[in-house]
Amino acid sequence: MGMMQEFKDFAVKGNVMDLAVGVIIGAAFGKIVDSVVADLIMPVVGALFGKLDFSSLFVVLGTPPAGTAMTLDALKKAGVPVFAYGNFITVAVNFAILAFIIFMMVKQINRLKKAAPPPAPAPTAEDILLLREIRDNLKK
């Protein structure tokens, strides 16, 4: 029974719950960033470089079976090895954007932490004040 109580104490601690909430929000945020990259940024980057869809950029490394369409999905379903560098470019841009956003968030949080006023010093205990008064009287 002691082990179950320890696990309960561990699971309901604030840090564990904060981590769980962070993971869930992070997963949702990751989907938003995926959408921003796939739907907004990559089409613009693709238009600048003359390709509309980076995910369709690949090099076939094997011989495809006869009648197989030369699309990335069809080649992968057929078991043909492909070097899908376009997908890597999309994921790398996604990572760079996500890392930049997190960097900016941490930077702003650190700035807010620095702006907080320093805590007021704790009031001096009465016995310390009395000892200081005695010391000062002895110096006279």
The residue type at 110: N
- In Å, what is the CA distance from 56 to each residue of 2, 77, 130? 56, 15, 81
Question: What is the pTM assigned to this prediction?
Answer: 0.52
In the numeric block, the tokens 């011989």 are attached to: 63
Q: Which domain holds residue 119?
A: 2-139
Can you tell me the distance from the alpha carbon of 58 to that of 43, in angstroms, rounded to the nearest whole number?
17
CATH number of the CATH domain containing 81: 1.10.1200.120
Tally the domains of the chain.
Answer: 1
- Provide the strand spans (E) within the chain: 59-60, 82-83
For the segment 100-123, what is each residue's pLDDT rounded down to a tens digit? Answer: 888 888 888 888 877 667 788 888
117 in helix, strand or coil?
A: coil
Contact 86, 42 (CB under 8 A): no
Is 131 exposed, middle or buried, given 0-12, 13-18 or 19+ CB atoms closer than 10 A? exposed
Per-residue pLDDT reduced to its tens digit, 9-65? 777 776 777 788 888 888 888 888 778 877 887 788 778 877 656 777 888 888 888
Tell me the pLDDT band of 99, cut-offs 50, 70 and 90.
confident
